[in-house]
């Protein structure tokens, strides 16, 4: 029996993780659920899975369970004796738990790419212990096992391209349109990132830190069918890849069951039904964030952190209806232009850069009546 902690339990990754737990009551036991706040959904999860602990950012009470909260609660959470911690938190909110769990050498399966990126410069020597949940990185993690690291020629991340990859005119896109992902069921932030191709830019940086592969060996390709999730090319010319239906339960389950494989309830691939697999070069003119992200990755130092924070702030404004879809890259670029910090050497430096980037954003975009002034 494996004990499991689920951070971000009410989110997209969290609820799909609980689907797997529900399937294997004899193999998995939830010991902790964590969410930003106490909600009806969280209370229902507590009633169903009966964890010993709940963590929420703000203090609260739920009958029959010990509720940890605040900074102190987070410290305690990260020291709990639990077999595997699943981090399904969206965005930079997941940085502190990621940091504490890695510092305490806990077994961590994570989909929280923003935390991996922001902590990359200061914690990457711990990253070989991470079990990746992000589907592309899970595919790379699986494919890499076919060879030796020194024999890798290239790793390729596939992108569905989101809803607009072949659309000429990106003006006038509504929030509703951007949230309609053609293939994947995901949270709001990552779905918008997917539509701007920023998601792939962030994933290139994530792959660089997770697998310790130089940027010139990482490539992104548009693959609208979302069947091939990631590929590893070796020096002999062989490419090894992982294919499956686009269903997050597969990478989540693999991170939990590794090195075993369990049934997930996901649909099996029917090759005749798919018929064809297509690959296209991403258009970096129309989707500048992909190029900007690669440049930030290559520059290293504080750039990936500023990029991550700037994007999260810009996407949030878009979701609130304060800016147009096409203004997301514009805002990210303006914040990057103003950013200048020393190379982060520890966790405190990372937090400093994050807070300063938020200040740059505030100074640039004083919001007035929901519109940027
Ligand atoms: Mn992904």
Task: For the chain, give every domain's residue range.
Answer: 2-132, 134-300, 301-373
Supply the Cα-derived Rg of the chain in whole angstroms. Answer: 20
pLDDT of res. 368: 39
Taking the C-alpha atoms of residue 138 and residue 55, their distance in angstroms, rounded to an integer, is 27
What is the CA(69)–ligand 1 centre distance, in A? Answer: 30
The CA 101 to ligand 1 mean position distance, Å, reads 22
Q: What is the pLDDT of residues 85-132, one digit of tens each?
A: 999 999 999 999 999 999 999 999 999 999 999 999 999 999 999 999
pLDDT in tens, 16-51: 999 999 999 999 999 999 999 999 999 999 999 999
- Does domain 301-373 fall into CATH 1.10.1740.10? yes
Residue 174 or residue 184, greater confidence: 174
- Name the residue among 182, 141, 146 with its Cα closest to residue 161: 182
Percentage of the chain surpassing pLDDT 70?
98
What is the sign, positive or negative, of the torsion defined by CA atoms of 7, 311, 225, 239? negative
- CATH topology agreement for domains 2-132 and 301-373: no
Average pLDDT on 161-183 reads: 91
203 CA to middle of ligand 1, Å? 7
CA of 221 to the centre of ligand 1 (A): 13
> pLDDT tens for residues 351-372?
999 999 999 999 998 753 445 5
Task: Return the CATH class of domain 2-132.
Answer: alpha beta
Q: What's the pTM? A: 0.96
Burial class (CB in 10 A: 0-12, 13-18, 19+), 271: exposed
Tokens encoding 288: 């500048």
Q: What is the whole-number distance in angstroms between the Cα of residue 112 and the centre of ligand 1? A: 10
């Amino acid at each position: 029996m494996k004990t499991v902690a689920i951070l971000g339990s009410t989110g997209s990754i969290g609820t799909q993780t609980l689907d797997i737990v529900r399937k294997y009551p004899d193999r998995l036991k939830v010991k902790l659920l964590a969410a930003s706040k106490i909600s009806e959904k969280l209370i229902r999860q507590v009633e169903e899975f009966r964890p010993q602990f709940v963590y929420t950012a703000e203090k609260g009470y739920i009958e029959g369970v010990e509720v940890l909260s605040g900074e102190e609660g987070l410290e305690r959470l990260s020291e709990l004796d639990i077999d595997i911690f699943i981090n399904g938190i969206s965005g930079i909110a997941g940085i502190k738990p990621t940091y504490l769990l890695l510092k305490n050498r806990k077994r961590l399966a994570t989909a929280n790419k923003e935390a991996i990126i922001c902590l990359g410069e200061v914690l990457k020597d711990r990253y070989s212990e991470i079990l990746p949940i992000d589907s592309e990185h899970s595919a790379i993690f699986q494919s890499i096992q076919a060879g030796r690291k020194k024999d890798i020629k290239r790793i390729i991340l596939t992108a569905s391209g989101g809803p607009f990859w072949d659309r000429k005119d990106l003006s006038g896109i509504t929030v509703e349109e951007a949230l309609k992902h053609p293939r994947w069921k995901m949270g709001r932030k990552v779905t918008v990132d997917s539509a701007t191709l920023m998601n792939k830019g962030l994933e290139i940086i994530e792959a660089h830190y997770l697998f310790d592969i130089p940027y010139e060996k990482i490539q992104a390709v548009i693959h609208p069918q979302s069947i091939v999730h990631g590929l590893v090319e070796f020096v002999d010319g062989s490419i090894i890849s992982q294919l499956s239906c686009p269903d997050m339960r597969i990478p989540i389950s693999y991170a939990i069951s590794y090195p075993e494989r369990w049934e997930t309830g996901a649909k099996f691939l029917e090759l005749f039904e798919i018929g064809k697999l297509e690959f296209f070069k991403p258009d970096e003119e129309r989707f500048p964030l992909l190029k900007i992200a690669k440049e930030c990755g290559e520059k290293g130092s504080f750039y990936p952190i500023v990029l991550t924070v700037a994007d999260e702030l810009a996407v949030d404004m878009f979701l609130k209806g304060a800016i147009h879809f096409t203004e997301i890259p514009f805002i990210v670029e303006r914040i990057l232009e103003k950013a200048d910090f020393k190379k982060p050497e520890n966790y405190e430096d990372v937090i400093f850069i994050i807070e300063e980037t938020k200040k740059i954003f505030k100074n640039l975009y004083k919001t007035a009546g929901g519109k940027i002034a």
